Amino acid sequence: MAHLSELAAEPQRLSNAYQNWYRFSRNPSAVIGTAIVIICILTAIFAPLITPYPEHVGAVVNFRERHLPPSADYWFGTDNVGRDIFTRVVFGMRISLLLALVVLATAVPVGTVLGLLAGYYGGWVEIVIMRFTDIALAIPGLVMVMAVAAVLSPDLLTSMIAIAALWWTWHARLIYSITRQTRVQDYIEAAETLGASKFHILFREILPNCVSALAVKTSLDAGFVILIGSTLSFLGLGIQPPTPDLGTMVASGAAFLPSYWWESVLPGCAILFVSLGFNLLGDGLRDMFDVEDVR
């Protein structure tokens, strides 16, 4: 009987999936955002193949070609030591995407599990988890990240730790809210009555109701994580030279504004480009899943 019911429900699931995809594909900003994200990911993956001077990623010095404007040889110009800015922007984008991937791969599962536990069990479990979450959320995000980054040695790993230490709280709050609404539903009470395990109820019954909100928030957060990481590097608390980082490039190029504007403006445009892509993608997913108030 269960097998027959699953077969009967399959057309409905396919119909819902098609409707969701149709709404997403009819949203111009969502399609543009998806295209931007795909371009950025592919560019980062194939960076060594598409950049003209991959050796300029390191501590290369070529003073005879320093401060050259954008041209056919150097698409984004060169920096103050003669390195190709386009090459360093592409590799810097790779590092920014890696930062977002590691931070969200750490923060999302941690926040999700804690939010599920607090929302379902209530009592002292809820008090401990959510009060700790509230304390973390009360601290200005950038200030907390800067404090963690200042204590540890500034590098890529430090940036990941600093941002992940903050970011799980937002997901814990989101999943807690959804779990509190879901745990009083009739099908949850029926599963409990039938003797279903807590693990089954949390991860097979409640968690699927959180997937759409998680997808939207994760997409939106990717852009913000990249902005926070670039801000840390801009302030000297993130990734250090000669490793190419978009925030570091903006900071070093700012010393030569406005004469050599491309050294700062073009890396800044790269940050804008990738952040815009994730935000448009997140907005498209929010419209597709009809999710509200994920922040």
Q: How far apart are the first and last CA of the chain?
A: 41
**10 domain-assigned:** no
Handedness of CA 106, 107, 113, 118 (dihedral sign): positive
Q: The whole model's pTM is what?
A: 0.85
Instruction: Give the C-alpha separation, 59 to 110, whole Å.
Output: 38
Q: Is residue 4 part of a domain?
A: no
Looking at residue 9, its pLDDT comes to 47
Q: Is residue 249 part of a domain?
A: yes
The owner of tokens 């539903």 is: 185
In the chain (295 residues long), the average pLDDT of successive 10-residue segments reads 44 61 79 92 91 87 88 90 92 92 93 93 90 85 75 77 86 92 86 84 89 90 90 83 88 89 93 93 82 60
For residue 164, which of 244, 246, 229 has the smallest C-alpha distance?
229
8: in domain = no
Task: Please tell me the total count of domains within the chain.
Answer: 1
**Residue 90 counted as domain residue:** yes
* Domain ranges, residue 168: 28-289
Q: Which of 266, 174, 159, 272 is nearest to 217 (CA)?
A: 174
**DSSP3 helix / strand / coil % (the chain, rounded to 5):** 75, 0, 25
Tell me whether residue 50 is in a domain: yes
β partners of residue 84: 78
pLDDT value for 16: 65
The answer to whether residue 34 sits within a structural domain is yes
**Is 294 part of any domain?**
no
217 within 8 A of 283, measured Cβ to Cβ: no
d(CA 112, CA 96): 23
Q: What is the CATH number of the domain that holds 69?
A: 1.10.3720.10
Three-class secondary structure of residue 84 per DSSP: strand
Residue 172, class by beta-carbon neighbours within 10 Å (0-12 exposed, 13-18 middle, 19+ buried)?
A: buried
| pLDDT of res. 233 | 86
Closest C-alpha among 48, 139, 40 to residue 87: 48
pLDDT of residue 15: 62
